[in-house]
Amino acid sequence: MKKRVLLFDIDGTLTTTVYNTTAGDVHQQLMSKTYNVAIDKKGVVYSGSTDRLIWKNLLTANGLEYNDTPEEIEKIMKVYRELIHCGIKENWWHWKILPNVNELLERCSKEEGFILALLTGNMIETAEVKLTNAGVNVEVFKDANGVLRGGFGSDDMDRATIVANALKKLRTEFGELDQSQFLIIGDTPKDVKCAHDNDFGALAVATGIYSAKSLAQCACGVAEDFFDIEKTVASLKNTTLREDYKSVSYQLTVKSAADP
C-alpha cells in the first residue's frame, strides 16, 4: 500500500496567535529590535506567507532593504530566539491550539498509511516553539533523530520551493515517493497554490480567514474544521489533485461577518 504524506500548515490550521500587547506583533517587534527603527505594519498581509517574505515586505513597506543572506537571517534569528520566548513569558503573545487538532493528529499517527509532516513558512526553530506553546503534540511530526519533518521558512523564502525541498527530504527518509502521495493541509489559497505548483493535492480548512465556499474555488477538497475526526481522515485519504488545478484562481475574498 502506498503511503500518504500529510503536510500540515501551522498558523491558522493547527494554531492561532493571541496578542496581549499594543506594541506590535511579533514580526513588527522583531524587525524593530533587529534594525533599531520603528516598524509600522502598513497593511502587510501575513496569512499564508513565509517568515522571510514577511520580513522583506515589512522592511520594504517601511523604506528599508532586506537582504536574504545566511548572515542576515542569522542576525534576525539571534533576536527572534530571545524575543519569542520573552513575549511568551511576559504574556505579550501566545499560541492557542485549534479545536480537535491533537485528536486528529493522534488518530492520523495511528493510521498505518499516513506519514505526518509540516509545511510552513515558519523558521524551523520557532515552528517548534509555537507548536509547543500551543500544546500541539509535536512528537508526531519528528523523525528518528527528533527533528521536525517537512518544509520550513528556514529552507527558502518562496513557499513553492519549500514544498520542493520537503519532497527531497522526505524521499531521503522514506525512499521514492511520487507527487500523488502528497497532500498539503492549510487554511489559505497560498497553501493551495504551493501544493499545485508542485503537482500536490491540497485540502483547505476554513479555520482561518477564508470560508469553505471561497476555498473550494481553488482547493482539491475542503473541510470546515476538524470536529468530525473520521470525516476528516476520510478526506485526508481520498482528496486528490483536481483536474483543472493549473487554471484555478487564488484571488479569494476573506470571510465576511455572514460567513461561518
| Whether residues 10 and 66 fall in one domain | no
| 9 and 86 both lie in a single domain | no
- In whole angstroms, give the CA distance from residue 5 to residue 181: 6
Both 73 and 102 in one domain: the answer is no
Say yes or no: 140 and 179 in one domain.
yes
Distance separating alpha carbons of residues 257 and 105, to the nearest angstrom = 30
Domain total for the chain? 2
Domain housing 231: 4-16+96-238
Flag whether 168 is in a domain. yes
Q: pLDDT (tens digit, 9 = 90+) per residue, 12-22?
A: 999 999 999 78
Q: Please indicate, yes or no, whether residues 114 and 183 belong to a single structural domain of this protein.
A: yes
How far is it, in rounded angstroms, from Cα 212 to Cα 80? Answer: 34
Residues 111 and 183 reside in one and the same domain? yes
Identify the pLDDT of residue 93. 95
Residues 163 and 210 in one domain: yes
Q: Among residues 78, 94, 110, which one ends one of the domains?
A: 94
Q: Are residues 114 and 226 in the same domain?
A: yes
pTM of the model: 0.95
- The pLDDT of residue 1 is 76
Domain annotation covers residue 155:
yes
- The answer to whether residue 103 is domain-embedded is yes
Separation of alpha carbons 179 and 201, rounded Å: 8
Residue 184 lies in a domain: yes
**Residue 134: which of 2, 5, 14 has the closest Cα?**
14
- Does one domain contain both 72 and 116? no
As given in the structure block, the three cell numbers for residue 192 are 493551495
Whether 48 and 84 share a structural domain: yes
Q: Tens digit of pLDDT per residue, the chain (260 long)?
A: 799 999 999 999 999 999 997 878 999 999 999 999 999 999 999 988 999 999 999 999 999 999 999 999 999 999 999 999 999 999 999 999 999 999 999 999 999 999 999 999 999 999 999 999 999 999 999 999 999 999 999 999 999 999 999 999 999 999 999 999 999 999 999 999 999 999 999 999 999 999 999 999 999 999 999 999 999 999 999 999 999 999 999 999 887 544 44
Residue 250 lies in a domain: no
Quick one: 101 and 172 in the same domain? Answer: yes
- Whole-angstrom distance, CA of residue 259 vs CA of residue 228: 20
Q: Give 164-223 pLDDT, tens digit per residue.
A: 999 999 999 999 999 999 999 999 999 999 999 999 999 999 999 999 999 999 999 999
Q: What share of the chain is helix, strand, coil (3-state, %, to 5)?
A: 40, 15, 45
Same-domain check for residues 204 and 226: yes
